[in-house]
Amino acid sequence: MQGRLRRGTMAATVLWVVLLLSTDPASAHGELPRAYDGHPDLSGIWQAIGTAHWNLQDHQASAGPPKLGAIGATPPGRGVVEGGEIPYQQWALDQKRQNFENRLTEDPETKCYLPGVPRATYLPYPFQILQGTNKIMIVYGFAETNRTIHMDKENPEPAPLDSWMGRSHGRWEGETLVVDVAGFNGQAWFDRAGNFASDTLRVVERYTPIGANALRYEATIEDPNVFTRTWKMTMPLYRRLEENAQVLEFKCVEFSEELLYGHLRKHPAITW
């Protein structure tokens, strides 16, 4: 009986997927909204759905700290890297492996540092795009992160100083918003697997509507100090459609204080 139920459920799921894939993308997601200047209106709350947050590449399920049980484990997932492999130089591949081994204490996310670009896009939280004429602002909940995309610079100036989120300059190429980001401090990671870059990182993002409520997000990664060539990741972003959707501030600094400063205590903190 249970076997028949499982087969019936699987058949229904397959039928649903076939119907979904056979539907025209524009009709499935509605008419593409437009800003007053004719460009696609990307304003709204968006979120990535996937496992890039844990690992950009194909990965199996793996255990975390034993005391956390299943909630500390990494779920399996398909990669978002074009071609499947990140083209590290040998020293950088060794560093990536070391990062992974030390991820529970060294991942910048654990310390509530700003996530950097492109990682801010596929953290498991919604973010909001506020589209103006000369500027586009993106607000992320994690660590109260935000960044401004400068649309009014024909000859973009280099960043006055390096930072976690870099400096973003944008332009429209047809229906696609293209954002060139540089000026990073080289401390951010790409995911919890320890993938990283240096302060010579340059990221070119492309936000392309594939319907009213979905975007194709591409990030081309260039860093001659770490990688042997440029490479690209691609994933969909989905509009949050619930009426009460909003970006809530994830003020995580207080949760990282013990990790960062616990060794300075005269007496151990009380833990649960």
Q: Is residue 31 part of a domain?
A: no
- In 3D space, the residue among 31, 40, 9 whose CA is nearest the CA of residue 173 turns out to be 40
Q: What pLDDT, on the 0 to 100 scale, is given for residue 23?
A: 39
The pLDDT tens digits of the residues spanning 38-86 come to 999 999 999 999 999 999 999 999 999 999 999 999 999 999 999 999 9
The pLDDT tens digits of the residues spanning 224-265 come to 999 999 999 999 999 999 999 999 999 999 999 888 888 777
Q: Is residue 141 part of a domain?
A: yes
Q: Is residue 167 part of a domain?
A: yes
The pLDDT tens digits of the residues spanning 74-122 come to 999 999 999 999 999 999 999 999 999 999 999 999 999 999 999 999 9
Q: How many domains does the chain fold into?
A: 1
Q: Looking at residue 99, what DSSP letter applies? A: H
Torsion of CA 237, 80, 104, 62, to 10 degrees: 110
Q: Is residue 267 part of a domain?
A: no
Q: Is residue 17 part of a domain?
A: no
Q: Is residue 16 part of a domain?
A: no
Say if residue 215's pLDDT is above 60.
yes
Q: Is residue 2 part of a domain?
A: no
The alpha-carbon radius of gyration of the chain (Å, integer) is 21
* Residue 113: strand, helix, or coil: coil
CATH, residue 97 = 2.40.128.20
Torsion of CA 197, 201, 207, 213, to 10 degrees: 30
**What percent of the chain has pLDDT above 70?**
86
Q: Which residues pair with 137 in a beta bridge?
A: 130, 148
Domain limits at 120? 38-242
